[in-house]
Amino acid sequence: MRTYRYFLLLLWVGQPYPTVSTPLSKRTSGFPAKKRALELSGNSKNELNRSKRSWMWNQFFLLEEYTGSDYQYVGKLHSDQDRGDGSLKYILSGDGAGDLFIINENTGDIQATKKLDREEKPVYILRAQAINRRTGRPVEPESEFIIKIHDINDNEPIFTKEVYTATVPEMSDVGTFVVQVTATDADDPTYGNSAKVVYSILQGQPYFSVESETGIIKTALLNMDRENREQYQVVIQAKDMGGQMGGLSGTTTVNITLTDVNDNPPRFPQSTYQFNTPESSPPGTPIGRIKASDADVGENAAIEYSITEGEGLDMFDVITDQETQEGIITVKKLLDFEKKKVYTLKVEATNPHVEPRFLYLGPFKDSATVRILVEDVDEPPVFSKVAYILQIREDAQINTTIGSVTAQDPDAARNPVKYSVDRHTDMDRIFNIDSGNGSIFTSKLLDRETLLWHNITVIATEINNPKQSSRVPLYIKVLDVNDNAPEFAEFYETFVCEKAKADQLIQTLRAVDRDDPHSGHQFSFSLAPEAASGSNFTIQDNKDNTAGIFTRKNGYSRHEMSSYLLPVVISDNDYPVQSSTGTVTVRVCACDHHGNMQSCHAEALVHPTGLSTGALVAILLCIVTLLVTVVLFAALRRQRKKEPLIISKEDIRDNIVSYNDEGGGEEDTQAFDIGTLRNPEAIEDSKLRRDIVPEALFLPRRTPAARDNTDVRDFINQRLKENDADPTAPPYDSLATYAYEGTGSVADSLSSLESVTTDGDQEYDYLSDWGPRFKKLADMYGGADSDKES
């Protein structure tokens, strides 16, 4: 049978402070609400004997801030099992046990060893237990009890801020909220009046007041004016104990600023102002400044100025300087001393931001009179227009009059004026002006396609006072005349397939014209008369400024004719009709079945297919050996034939270029082309080399060949046919023939080196009889003679 044991907490107060205990409201471990003292016997039958009932306490109260020299007595623990023989031992655990609180293990007396502060810790929870000293077993279950620290008034109220800052509008009504201050007291608000705070004002009356319970500061005086006083310092006190004597207190400072309201109208310091301005002042020129004063600040002191009446409403203006709040009188239109000398204005200053509740103080505006005197100045000439625009045809002859400009002196003296052109705007001196009447005329021919508009400046100057001058821009537009012939929009070089059909389009032509007719361009295309008959191609005009080139027959052969030159005449539809002839190059090319170009040059004959690979290799080796032999032979021969080009280096009469290599003959197209001597204008810029595989299929453009010396042509054609017909010759061979100048040449040698050894002058008039191929030589040597004669 289980045995139950209970122990009793006996509480009393040690001097000088009383200790208070209160009954429990509910059961706790080992401490029932009503004490049941049980006397337990230890017989073998384990019988349970009950003792009389009594109250059980589990809460102590202890005053804070104990200042005595001895430990502060808290209370006593006692168990019913304690017979006073020292067999029981009391143990204390929990908050502060062994440090703040100690217990006599024999008697159960509890004491506080240190001074306690309720603001640091208001409640301590501890646990008590009685154990048998001999066995170490508890004779009572562990019980919990509480020690509460009683508060004393040891903390003064503290404000949340040391200094408060607040604002309130000036002229506010009495009782207007300013700011609320708050103070806190660390004492226990539930025990006495230690934490009850009351607010009062120590400094700042009669302007402000404070509510004692809430700390709200309000205005206490009517119509406080910021312009009289702006800053106020208020001292507020917070006192505990409900403000009673002996209570602790704290203070704070509140800096209050009156904010501005618009309660003052602007005022001019004087009623009349006078300014002078020359009549030459341009619009926008400031004449003078006026300022109205306003006691307010910020936007409440903003002022707007305006001209309300007067003779110069349309001649002058007033603007407000936002930084200085001044009114700036400016010129609105050009003044004329000869027309009016004095103007009178009425200027008004107004507050743009007005509070209706202060309108009873009067109108928030003021006005002043401004008198402006116009001063006479010598003015420059004035043109009748701010700019002139004239037109002239581009075919106008020199000295053609375009128009005129007019300027006069605006002063009463009406001084005479002379005109001139600012040459910085007419560097080429294309135009001129009559200095007396201002007439503009041409001094050079015009070209609209070169420059459409001419912008020049005309200067008018007083004859009696050259310092007085003015300028005016003059814009001259050049009108178009049909003086340019249309031409191809680009260089046209096309091709036709060998298997082309008749009436097949091979190229579309377009033209451009530098002229700009009013009705637009209308071009017409046609073949030149000399090429119209017997041509292999036709031109079809599309009537939309384009034309198409069409084939005229079926099939073309590269071997018969590798290229065709089509002269096309392009005409415009303007007056007078302009036309030009352009040439279109048409090359005959091999094409695939889709019409795509593959090759455009005349190919060598194909080798017979019966030869084996070994035979071809042998033939190639023989040809290579032969070529090496020829090259070595030519090099040795050239070494033997080296001769000085001139007798003496000092005797030089022409620009001579010395070459160590005479070239590879007439078929060496990369070293020297004999055709160049016959026709320098027919030099081919780019030729295909025959000793390497061509990289492009499209041949370079060929210029039309002029009539040649038949002897050289026959020789070249003969050698070409021999190489084309030779089945053993490899393709792309390089056959060089040297020392050939033709037979029966009437020109003999064309070099002027021989003239170095002759003393007499040589006649070159016969060069003009050799045809167009020697035109340049004839011009060079024939011209020298003409210069000498002149």
pLDDT at 713: 72
For residue 219, give Cα distances in angstroms to 207, 226, 263, 358, 544.
Answer: 6, 14, 19, 19, 94
Mind listing the pLDDT tens digit for each residue in 264-291?
A: 889 999 999 999 999 889 999 999 999 9
* pLDDT-based confidence at residue 49 (cuts at 50, 70, 90): very low
Residues present in the chain in total? 790
Least confident of 52-66, 239-253, 282-296, 572-586: 52-66
pLDDT at 661: 52
CATH of 487-599, one of 3.40.50.970, 3.40.50.300, 2.60.40.60, 3.20.20.70: 2.60.40.60
* pLDDT-based confidence at residue 37 (cuts at 50, 70, 90): very low
Max mean pLDDT range (13-22, 580-589, 643-652) = 580-589
Asked if pLDDT for residue 692 goes beyond 60, the answer is: no
Helices (H), 19-83: none
Please tell me which residue, 611 or 784, carries the higher pLDDT value: 611
Positive or negative CA dihedral for 331, 336, 341, 346? Answer: negative
Q: Looking at residues 552-570, what average pLDDT do you find?
A: 89
Asked if pLDDT for residue 66 goes beyond 80, the answer is: no
Asked if pLDDT for residue 603 goes beyond 60, the answer is: no
Q: Write the single-letter amino acid at 354.
A: V
pLDDT at 688: 47
Taking residue 575's Cβ as centre, other Cβ atoms within 10 Å add up to 9
> What is the distance in angstroms between the CA of the first residue and the CA of the last residue of the chain?
163
Closest CA to 735 of 689, 684, 687: 689
Q: Write the single-letter amino acid at 681.
A: E
Q: Looking at residues 171-192, what average pLDDT do you find?
A: 87
* pLDDT-based confidence at residue 444 (cuts at 50, 70, 90): very high
In the chain, how many H helices and how many E strands?
Answer: 5, 45
Fold topology of 59-150 = Immunoglobulin-like (2.60.40)
Q: Looking at residues 640-654, what average pLDDT do you find?
A: 50
Q: What angle do CA 549, 552, 557 make, to 5 degrees?
A: 100
pLDDT at 234: 95
Q: Looking at residues 453-479, what average pLDDT do you find?
A: 94
Q: Looking at residues 731-744, what average pLDDT do you find?
A: 53
* pLDDT-based confidence at residue 774 (cuts at 50, 70, 90): confident
Q: Is 672 exposed, middle or buried (0-12, 13-18, 19+ CB in 10 A)?
A: middle
Q: Looking at residues 307-329, what average pLDDT do you find?
A: 91
Residue tagged 């209050």 (tokens): 256
* pLDDT-based confidence at residue 670 (cuts at 50, 70, 90): low
CATH of 158-259, one of 3.40.50.12240, 2.60.40.60, 3.30.1360.200, 3.40.50.300: 2.60.40.60
pLDDT at 741: 54
Q: Looking at residues 238-248, what average pLDDT do you find?
A: 84
Mind listing the pLDDT tens digit for each residue in 397-412?
A: 999 999 999 999 888 7
What is the pLDDT of the chain when averaged over all its residues? Answer: 78
Mind listing the pLDDT tens digit for each residue in 377-393?
A: 888 899 999 999 999 99
The H or E element spanning position 635 is helix 613-640
pLDDT at 642: 54
**Cβ atoms of 91 and 140 closer than 8 Å:** no
Please tell me which residue, 695 or 72, carries the higher pLDDT value: 72
Please tell me which residue, 707 or 584, carries the higher pLDDT value: 584
Max mean pLDDT range (216-220, 221-225, 670-674) = 216-220
Q: How is residue 620 written in tokens?
A: 């190639």
Least confident of 51-55, 463-467, 671-675, 687-691: 51-55
pLDDT at 736: 52
CATH of 272-372, one of 3.40.50.10260, 2.60.120.380, 2.30.30.40, 2.60.40.60: 2.60.40.60
Asked if pLDDT for residue 701 goes beyond 50, the answer is: no
Percent of the chain with pLDDT over 70: 76
* pLDDT-based confidence at residue 723 (cuts at 50, 70, 90): confident
Closest CA to 310 of 346, 338, 342, 283: 346
pTM of the predicted model as reported, rounded to 2 decimal places: 0.41
Least confident of 33-37, 124-128, 216-220, 358-362: 33-37
Asked if pLDDT for residue 787 goes beyond 70, the answer is: no
Q: Looking at residues 77-92, what average pLDDT do you find?
A: 82
Q: Looking at residues 678-699, what average pLDDT do you find?
A: 46
Asked if pLDDT for residue 335 goes beyond 70, the answer is: yes
pLDDT at 370: 94
Q: Looking at residues 215-227, what average pLDDT do you find?
A: 91
Three-state secondary-structure class, residue 258? strand
Taking residue 444's Cβ as centre, other Cβ atoms within 10 Å add up to 11
Positive or negative CA dihedral for 727, 728, 731, 735? Answer: negative
Residue tagged 């033997």 (tokens): 640
pLDDT at 675: 52
Three-state secondary-structure class, residue 298? helix
Percent of the chain with pLDDT over 90: 34
pLDDT at 111: 85
Taking residue 274's Cβ as centre, other Cβ atoms within 10 Å add up to 12
Q: What is the CATH number of domain 382-479?
A: 2.60.40.60
pLDDT at 747: 52
* pLDDT-based confidence at residue 729 (cuts at 50, 70, 90): low
* pLDDT-based confidence at residue 728 (cuts at 50, 70, 90): low
For residue 410, give Cα distances in angstroms to 336, 406, 417, 483, 526.
Answer: 9, 13, 11, 46, 65
* pLDDT-based confidence at residue 652 (cuts at 50, 70, 90): very low
Domains 272-372 and 487-599 share a fold: yes
Q: How far apart are CA 235 and CA 255, in angstroms?
A: 9
Asked if pLDDT for residue 702 goes beyond 50, the answer is: no
Instruction: Pick left, alpha or beta for residue 315 (phi over 0 → left; psi -120 to 50 → alpha; otherwise beta).
Output: alpha
Max mean pLDDT range (166-180, 608-622, 725-739) = 166-180
Q: How far apart are CA 452 and CA 448, in angstroms?
A: 5
Asked if pLDDT for residue 43 goes beyond 90, the answer is: no
Least confident of 2-6, 462-466, 676-680: 2-6
Q: How far apart are CA 107 and CA 98, in angstroms?
A: 16
**How is the chain split into domains, by residue range?**
59-150, 158-259, 272-372, 382-479, 487-599
* pLDDT-based confidence at residue 641 (cuts at 50, 70, 90): low
* pLDDT-based confidence at residue 181 (cuts at 50, 70, 90): very high
Q: Looking at residues 573-583, what average pLDDT do you find?
A: 87
